[in-house]
C-alpha cells in the first residue's frame, strides 16, 4: 500500500479462487481451510476484505457461487459491507492509480476502455437483490475516524482498535506527473518505476496540480459518471440519507485537452535529481538487473523446473 499499490486486503487468495474455473476446487478448499482455522482459534466470524472482490462477484452467478461454497464449508449467513465514494472523485483517484505504470493512456482513453465500476456495481446489485443477501452500504468519508467508526463500530459492532496507521497509504501522482510517466513509458519503460518513486516522494503540499489539466480531467470524469446516473441513483436508495452520492449532470461540452503541464520548483528539483541519478553506474546496473537480467533468470528457472 505504501508504494502506491491498491491494497488487495486479506482476500487476495479468495479473489484468485473466484477467478478460477467453477469446476476447480480452489474456492471450496480455501473456504474449508478458513473455517478450520476459525474453529481451531475459537473465532466466531471470518472477515475477508478486498477491493478486488467486486470484479469477481459482479458477473452472473459469481455471488451465488460464493454463497453456496461458503455454506458447504460450514459458514452461516454471509454479511457484506460496501463503501462507496463520490463517483467523480473515485474515478479520478482510480485513474491516477491505474496510470502510474504509464500504460493506461490519457484519462479519456482510459475511461473508454478501463472504467468498469458502474457495470460491476450493477451486476453485483442485481444479484444481491435476487439472492436477498445481507448488504450494508455506506459512504466514503475523509473525516478523521469516520471510516473506522463505520467499519468497526457500526458494522462489526466492536470498538475501533488502537493501532497506528500511516497518514498516507496510497500516494498518487498529479496529472502532470502522470503525463510525464506516460511519456517515459513510451521511450524508457524501465525508468517508469524509479521515476514514479522519485515523484511520489515529493510532499503533496509542495506540488502544483496544473489547473488546465485538472479542469479537463474533471470534465471528462463528470461526463462519464453522468452517463451512469441511473445506477448511482439505485445505490443512493441503499445509502443513509446524509451519505448519498452526488450525481452530476454532464457538461455541455468538454474543454480541449491542454498541452501544458504544471510543475513546482520542488517537483522540478526532484526530476533533476532523478535525471542525475540515472547517469550513475550504480543506477544503470540496478536498472539492468531489474529490467533485463532478473526477468531472464526467472524465465530460465521456470523452464528448468517445468515438468515434461
Q: How far is the CA of 281 from the CAs of 187, 254, 269, 276, 286, in angstroms?
A: 20, 47, 21, 11, 9
Mean pLDDT by 10 residues, the chain (308 residues): 50 91 89 95 91 90 94 93 97 93 94 95 96 96 92 93 70 91 93 93 91 94 97 98 96 90 95 92 79 61 58
How far apart, in whole angstroms, are the C-alpha atoms of residue 161 and residue 182?
40
CB neighbours of 121 closer than 8 A, spacing ≥ 6?
Answer: 54, 58, 231, 235
Helix, strand, coil share (%) of the chain residues, nearest 5? 60, 5, 35
Tell me the whole-structure pTM to 2 decimals.
0.85
For residue 282, the model assigns a pLDDT of 86
For residue 136, the model assigns a pLDDT of 97
For residue 6, the model assigns a pLDDT of 46
For residue 209, the model assigns a pLDDT of 85
Radius of gyration of the chain (CA): 22
Q: What's the DSSP call for residue 101?
A: G
- As given in the structure block, the three cell numbers for residue 174 are 498529479
Closest CA to 233 of 252, 57, 225: 225
Angle at the Cα of 252 from the Cα atoms of 92 and 112, rounded to 5 degrees: 40
For residue 22, the model assigns a pLDDT of 80
For residue 24, the model assigns a pLDDT of 84
For residue 263, the model assigns a pLDDT of 95
Amino acid at each position: 500500500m505504501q508504494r502506491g499499490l491498491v491494497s488487495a486486503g486479506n482476500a487476495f487468495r479468495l479473489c484468485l479462487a473466484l477467478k478460477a474455473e467453477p469446476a476447480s476446487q480452489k474456492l471450496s478448499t480455501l473456504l474449508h481451510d478458513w473455517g478450520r482455522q476459525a474453529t481451531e482459534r475459537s473465532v466466531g466470524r471470518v472477515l475477508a476484505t478486498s477491493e478486488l472482490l467486486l470484479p469477481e462477484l459482479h458477473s452472473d452467478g459469481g455471488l451465488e457461487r460464493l454463497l453456496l461454497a461458503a455454506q458447504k464449508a460450514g459458514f452461516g449467513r454471509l454479511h457484506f459491507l460496501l463503501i462507496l465514494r463520490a463517483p467523480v472523485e473515485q474515478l479520478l483517484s482510480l485513474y491516477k492509480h491505474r496510470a502510474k505504470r504509464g500504460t493506461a493512456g490519457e484519462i479519456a482513453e482510459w475511461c473508454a476502455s478501463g472504467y468498469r465500476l458502474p457495470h460491476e456495481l450493477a451486476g453485483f446489485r442485481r444479484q444481491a437483490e435476487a439472492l436477498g443477501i445481507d448488504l450494508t452500504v455506506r459512504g466514503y468519508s475523509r473525516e478523521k475516524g469516520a471510516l473506522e467508526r463505520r467499519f468497526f463500530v457500526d458494522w462489526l459492532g466492536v470498538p475501533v482498535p488502537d493501532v497506528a496507521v500511516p497518514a498516507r497509504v496510497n500516494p498518487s501522482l498529479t496529472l502532470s506527473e502522470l503525463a510525464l510517466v506516460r511519456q517515459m513509458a513510451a521511450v524508457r519503460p524501465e525508468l517508469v518505476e524509479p521515476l514514479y518513486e522519485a515523484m511520489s516522494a515529493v510532499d503533496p503540499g509542495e506540488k502544483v496540480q496544473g489547473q488546465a489539466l485538472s479542469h479537463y480531467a474533471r470534465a471528462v470524469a463528470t461526463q462519464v459518471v453522468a452517463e451512469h446516473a441511473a445506477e448511482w441513483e439505485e445505490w443512493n436508495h441503499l445509502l443513509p440519507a446524509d451519505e448519498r452520492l452526488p450525481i452530476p449532470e454532464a457538461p455541455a461540452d468538454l474543454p480541449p485537452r491542454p498541452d501544458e503541464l504544471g510543475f513546482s520548483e520542488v517537483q522540478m528539483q526532484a526530476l533533476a535529481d532523478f535525471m542525475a541519478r540515472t547517469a550513475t553506474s550504480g543506477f544503470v546496473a540496478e536498472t539492468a538487473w531489474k529490467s533485463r537480467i532478473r526477468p531472464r533468470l526467472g524465465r530460465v528457472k521456470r523452464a528448468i523446473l517445468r515438468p515434461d
